[in-house]
Amino acid sequence: IKEKHRNNYNLFDSSISENFRMRLTLETELRKALREGQFELHYQPQKSFSTGKVVGLEALLRWNHPQKGYISPSEFIPLAEKTGLIIEIGDWVLHEACKQNKAWQNQGYDPITVSVNLSAKQFHQRSLVDKVKDILNDTGLSPYYLELEITESMAMSNENYILKTLKDLRDLGVLVSIDDFGTGYSSFKYLSLFPITKLKIDKMFLNNEQQENKAIVKSIIHMSHSLNMKVIAEGVETMEQFAFLSQERCDEMQGFYFSKPLPATQLTKFFTV
Ligand code: C2E
Ligand code: CA
Ligand code: CA
Ligand code: CA
């Protein structure tokens, strides 16, 4: 028994170090990816219900690994968050998205918004507002065409800081939306307190199998409008979902039904001039 116990213990022990080694490798590889330009942004169109036009794009990070191919952000963002590397990666994302959006405008396409996902660490860095200002100056993009997506969980701590940061961003002219709305710690207080321009209904609520979801989606749409916010549904995959959201006057929609996220070179077909 003693022998067995020791073996188990060793096994446990070595699996910890294995895990640790894997994390170290991934961290080293993430740094290398940043240095060697292995990150790319893909963009997913957001369609206006009333005009039928693409009015925005969400920038989604992709790691184009030289051996493993495209790696999804859900596989490396958590570690990037933990190690703090998300700050540098996030800076790159913001800069790249603004630069690309300005480039499309320079090519003569009608201006649209680019939405960038912010991680909690990014949002809580004190220099965020100045950084955004610098990037807008640097790329020449007007703040009205940049939207920052934050999540409800970021709004949990340090209310004064959050309120000040959001106000400063809004004073700059940048748009702010709440991503995955309804899945976190939503509070009506935040909705009335924070200068938010748009709610993004999480795709889990588009699941038709649960009848309650329809009532939830309707309520979110109506509430957004009553509070003078726009509302967008994400994860729209079917014609039924599109029809339902149209009937409920959801301002914008995004999802595989319209397009998956695409590399920058493949988006111009969605633009108007
Ligand atoms: P998210 O912000 O909620 O992004 C939406 C996710 O849904 C994306 O996954 C997108 O590809 C996927 N999606 C789009 N349309 C559909 C659809 O019709 N059906 C379904 N089932 N899925 C759809 P992706 O690109 O793998 O990104 C996953 C998450 O990684 C994002 O979730 C976001 O939280 C995070 N992320 C992506 N890019 C960045 C970034 O630049 N910075 C940070 N901090 N996080 C990012
Ligand atoms: Ca998002
Ligand atoms: Ca989302
Ligand atoms: Ca999500």
In this predicted structure, the answer to whether residue 13 has a pLDDT above a threshold of 80 is no
Q: Which protein residues have their CB within 5 A of the ion that is ligand 3?
A: 179-180
Cβ count near 107 (within 10 Å): 10
Mean pLDDT of the chain: 91
> Residues 51-63: what's their mean pLDDT?
97
In this predicted structure, the answer to whether residue 161 has a pLDDT above a threshold of 70 is yes
Residue nearest to atom 10 of ligand 1 (CA): 261
**Which pLDDT does position 26 carry in this prediction?**
84
Q: Which residues contact 145 (CB under 8 A, 6 or more apart)?
A: 101, 105, 111, 112, 113, 114
Q: What is the pTM of this model?
A: 0.93
> Residues 203-207: what's their mean pLDDT?
94
Nearest Cα residue to 119 out of 97, 92, 86 = 86
Least reliable range by pLDDT among 92-96, 139-143, 209-213, 266-270: 209-213
In angstroms, what is the C-alpha Rg of the chain?
A: 21
Q: Which atom of ligand 1 is nearest to the CA of 254?
A: 15
Q: For the chain, percent helix, then strand, then coil, each to nearest 5?
A: 55, 20, 25
Portion of the chain with pLDDT greater than 70, in percent: 93
Provide residues with CB under 6 Å of ligand 1: 44, 60-61, 72-74, 77, 90, 93, 117, 119, 179-180, 203, 234-237, 255-256, 261
Q: Which atom of ligand 1 is nearest to the CA of 93?
A: 41
ipTM of the predicted structure? 0.98
Q: Do 183 and 204 contact (CB within 8 A), yes or no? A: yes
